[in-house]
Amino acid sequence: MKITIWGCRGSMPTPGPEKNKYGGNTSCVQIEHGNTCLIFDGGSGIQELGQQLDPDILEVNILLTHLHIDHIMGLGYFKPFYNPECTVNIWGPAGSSESLIERLRRYFSPPFFPVRFRELSAKINIHEIDNSTFSIDGFTIKSEYLCHPGPTVGYRCELGGSVVSFMPDHEPSLGSSDFPNLTEWCSGYNISKEADLLFHDGQYSNSEYDRRVGWGHSSVSDAIDFGNLSKVKKMVLFHHDPAHTDVQLEAMVDKSIQGKTIDFDLVIGKENDVFYL
Q: What is the pLDDT of residues 10-19, one digit of tens each?
A: 999 999 999 9
- Check if the beta carbon of residue 146 is closer than 8 Å to that of residue 170: yes
* Residue type at 46 in one-letter notation: I
* Core vs surface per residue 243-255: b (16+ CB within 10 A) or e: ebbbeebeebbee
Average pLDDT, the chain: 96
**What is the pLDDT at residue 202?**
98
pLDDT digits (tens, 9 = 90+) for 75-129: 999 999 999 999 999 999 998 889 999 999 999 999 999 999 999 999 999 999 9
Q: Please count the other Cβ atoms lying within 10 Å of the Cβ belonging to residue 7.
A: 32
**What is the pLDDT at residue 77?**
97
Q: Check residue 202 and report its DSSP letter.
A: -
pLDDT digits (tens, 9 = 90+) for 170-208: 999 997 888 999 898 899 999 999 999 999 999 999 999
- What is the C-alpha separation between 23 and 270, in angstroms, rounded? 6
- Check if the beta carbon of residue 11 is closer than 8 Å to that of residue 241: yes
Given pLDDT bands bounded at 50, 70 and 90, which one contains residue 167? Answer: very high
- What is the C-alpha separation between 36 and 277, in angstroms, rounded? 15
**What is the pLDDT at residue 96?**
82
**What is the pLDDT at residue 175?**
74
Cis bond leading into 13, ω under 30°? no
**What is the pLDDT at residue 90?**
98
**What is the pLDDT at residue 97?**
86
pLDDT digits (tens, 9 = 90+) for 33-92: 999 999 999 999 999 999 999 999 999 999 999 999 999 999 999 999 999 999 999 999
**What is the pLDDT at residue 144?**
97
Give the Å distances, CA to CA, from 133 to 27, 96, 97, 143, 175. 23, 20, 23, 6, 21
| Structural domains of the chain ordered from first start | 2-276 (3.60.15.10)
Instruction: Give the angle subtended at the CA of 257 by the CAs of 175 and 68, to the nearest 5°.
Output: 45
φ, ψ for residue 63, nearest 5 deg:
-110, 110
- What is the C-alpha separation between 190 and 135, in angstroms, rounded? 17
pLDDT value at 257 more than 80: yes
Query: Quick one: CA dihedral 94, 148, 76, 57, positive or negative?
Result: negative
